[in-house]
Structure 1
C-alpha cells in the first residue's frame, strides 16, 4: 500500500489522503455527536454534564481532529520529502490539545468540588480551608501540566534529546546553580504550598498585617492578595506569612470580642452606664448576644478608664458595633451624665508670707 502511494502522482496522493481524512473526520463528527447526546440525556437529571460539556467540548473536538490528521497522514502520506515535518507539527499540536483537554477536565472536577464549599453561602472554617487548598492545587497542577507539555514538545526534537543526556550528566552542578539562582522563587513556591495545607491563613480569613487589617482574597504559589478594610489591595509574598508574626482574627472562628475605651470623670455612674449599654445592644442586630460588659480598668491622671466589651459574629459587624457603641455612649454621657465628662481640676491656694497668710491676697 505504501509503495503504491509512493509511486502515485501527487494528485492521487492528495486524493487518497483526502479520502482517508474525510472518513476519519466523519468518525470524529459521529463521536462528537454521540458524546453530546449522552451528556444532554444525563443533563436532564444532573447539572454536571452541562458544565463538563462547556469545558471540554472544544479541546475534545480539536484533539480528535488532530488524531484524524495524524492518522490520515501516516496511512496516506502526501510526500516522502516533507511528511516527517508535517507529522511532527501535528504531534506538537496534539500535545498542546491533550494538555488543554487534561487541564479542562481537572478544572471541571475541581470546580465541582468547590461548589460544595461556597464561602459566600457557607461561611465556615472547613469551607475556607477547602477553598484555599483548591486555589493552590489548581495553580500547581496547571503549572505542572504546562511544564510537562513543554518538556514533551521539546523532546520531540532530536537535538533537544541529545542535549537532555548531557544535562543529566551534569545535573549535580546544574541543580546547585539553579537552586541558588531561584532561591527566592522556590522559597515563595514552597511557602505557598505550605500555606495551603497548614491552615495558617485561608481564603476569607481576616488578618492584621503591617498594622492593616483586611480579608484574604487570594492565595497563589508566590503571593497573597489581601483586601484592606478601606478597599485598598495589599500584595505580600507567601514567605511573609511563614516568617513574620501576624494576627489571624478568624483562625478559630469568626466570632470576635471588641473593646471601646472611655476616659471619664470619677463622678460617672458606672451602673447607669451598664444599663445604657444594655439598651444600645438590644436595639441593634450587630451584637451577637454572646458577650458584653463594662469594667473600670484604670484610675489615673484624674480620670477613670472605662472599658466597654462587646462581641459580634465577624470582624465587619464588630467594627460597626464598636463605632455604634462609642457614638451612643458618648451621646448619653453628654445628655444624661454631664458630670462624667472628663474635667481638669486646679486647686488654688493663698500664698503665705513668713508662714502666715498674706493679707493682700485676702
Structure 2
C-alpha cells in the first residue's frame, strides 16, 4: 500500500517507526498492568516490577524503533548513524533498567523488614547489607553499560588496542589513580558482609556522638545529636577504631555521678532512686544500682547505674535521675552538699586543730 502511494523510503520508514512506537506504548501499558497485578501477592517481586515500569516505558519504544531501523534499506541516507544512535540509547536504557531493578530489589527487601520496631537489630542489619551491596552492584552495571557503549565505536576499539602496548605503564598509573575508589569499594563490601556498622547504629567517632544516617558506596553520613552531619570515608572504618554502642543490641547502661558530703546517708538516696525509676518511662527495669564508688579528702563519689532500651532513652533517663537526686539532696539534706572545710584561725578566737576538721565555711 505504501509503495502504491509512491512514498519516499524515509517517509515509509518514518510511518513504520510511528506505528512501532504506538504499538510499543500500548503493549507497555497492557504488560505493566498485568505484571503489577500478577506480582501483587509477592511484595519483593512487586517492588522490582514497580521500579522497572518507568524505564520500560522508554525502553520498549526504543527496541521497536531499533527493529524498524534494522529492517530499513541500507541504501537510505544516514540510516547507519540512526541505527548507531538508537543502539546507544537501547544500551543506556538497558543499563538503567538493570540498575532500577537492583534498587527495587533492595527496597523490597528493606520494606519486608521494617526498622520502626523496638528491637530492630535484624532489620538494620538487612538494610545495611541491601543498600551497600545494591549500590556496589549498580556501580558494576553502570561500568559494564558504559563499556558496551564505548565498544560500539570503532575508534574506541582501536584506542583500546593501542593502549595494550603500554599496558604496564597505563595499568600502574590507573591503579594509583583508582586506589581510593577501589579501596572504598572493597571497604563497602567488608562493611556489608562483616557489618561493623549498620544503618541507625550509634557511634562515637573522634569525640562526636551520632547515628549512622546513610551508607553510600564511598562514605558514611553520621547524624550528630545537634543535627550536624559528619562525613567519613568508608576506608576509615576499616583502618581506625571507633565505638559502636548498638553493635549487638540497642540496650545500654547509663551512668550518673554525684558528689556529696561524708554525712549524706545512702539508704534514703536509694529509696528516692527507686521512686524516680518507678515513674520513669525510659527505664527498662533491667539494671538499678546505687554505689559509693570513691572518696576524696573532701567528698564522696556516688555512682548510679541504670539501663534503657536505647542510647537516646538512656541519655534522657540519666538527666531525669540526676535532676531528681540533686533536688532530693537540696531539699532533704542541704547540709550534705559538698563542703569546703578549713582549720580555725586565731582571728576567730579558736585554736586550730591539727590533723582534723575544726570548722566549716
Q: Give TM-score scaled by structure 2 length.
A: 0.88
Partner of 2:226: 230
- Please report how far the alpha carbon of residue 190 of structure 1 lies from its aligned counterpart in structure 2 after TM superposition: 2.0
- CA 1:80–1:183 in structure 2 vs 1: closer, same or farther (change >3 Å)? same
Q: Equivalent of 1:66, from 62, 65, 70? A: 62
CA contact (8 A) 1:139 1:221 kept: yes
- CA distance in 1 between counterparts of 2:119 and 2:199 reads 11
Partner of 1:95: 91
1:119-172 Cα deviation digits (max 9, x unpaired): 223642221111111121222122212211111111100010111122234333
Please give the residue correspondences for 1:144-223 in structure 2 after superposition, counting only pairs within 5 Å. 144-223=140-219
Partner of 1:302: 298
SS at match of 1:165: helix
Matched residue pairs, number?
345
- CA distance in 2 between counterparts of 1:153 and 1:10 reads 38
Unaligned runs of 5+ in 1: 352-362
CA contact (8 A) 2:25 2:61 kept: no
Return 204-213 or 177-186, whichever deviates more: 177-186
- Please report how far the alpha carbon of residue 175 of structure 1 lies from its aligned counterpart in structure 2 after TM superposition: 2.1
- Please report how far the alpha carbon of residue 179 of structure 1 lies from its aligned counterpart in structure 2 after TM superposition: 1.8
- CA distance in 2 between counterparts of 1:133 and 1:44 reads 25
- CA 1:189–1:44 in structure 2 vs 1: closer, same or farther (change >3 Å)? closer
- CA 1:183–1:203 in structure 2 vs 1: closer, same or farther (change >3 Å)? same
Q: Equivalent of 1:266, from 259, 262, 269? A: 262
CA contact (8 A) 1:32 1:61 kept: yes
- CA distance in 2 between counterparts of 1:203 and 1:320 reads 22
Return 25-34 or 324-333, whichever deviates more: 25-34
SS at match of 1:250: coil
Return 319-328 or 240-249, whichever deviates more: 240-249
SS at match of 1:57: helix
Structure 1 segments, 4+ long, off by >6 Å, are none
In the alignment, is residue 12 of structure 1 matched against residue 8 of structure 2?
yes
Partner of 1:292: 288
CA contact (8 A) 1:20 1:76 kept: no
In the alignment, is residue 107 of structure 1 matched against residue 103 of structure 2?
yes
- CA 1:188–1:10 in structure 2 vs 1: closer, same or farther (change >3 Å)? farther
Return 70-79 or 319-328, whichever deviates more: 70-79
- CA distance in 2 between counterparts of 1:63 and 1:96 reads 9
- Please report how far the alpha carbon of residue 72 of structure 1 lies from its aligned counterpart in structure 2 after TM superposition: 1.1
- CA 1:203–1:74 in structure 2 vs 1: closer, same or farther (change >3 Å)? same
Q: Equivalent of 2:327, from 331, 340, 352? A: 331
Partner of 1:275: 271
Please give the residue correspondences for 1:309-328 in structure 2 after superposition, counting only pairs within 5 Å. 309-328=305-324
SS at match of 2:203: strand
Partner of 1:119: 115
In the alignment, is residue 42 of structure 1 matched against residue 7 of structure 2?
no
- CA 1:118–1:301 in structure 2 vs 1: closer, same or farther (change >3 Å)? same
Unaligned runs of 5+ in 2: 348-361
- CA 1:45–1:201 in structure 2 vs 1: closer, same or farther (change >3 Å)? closer
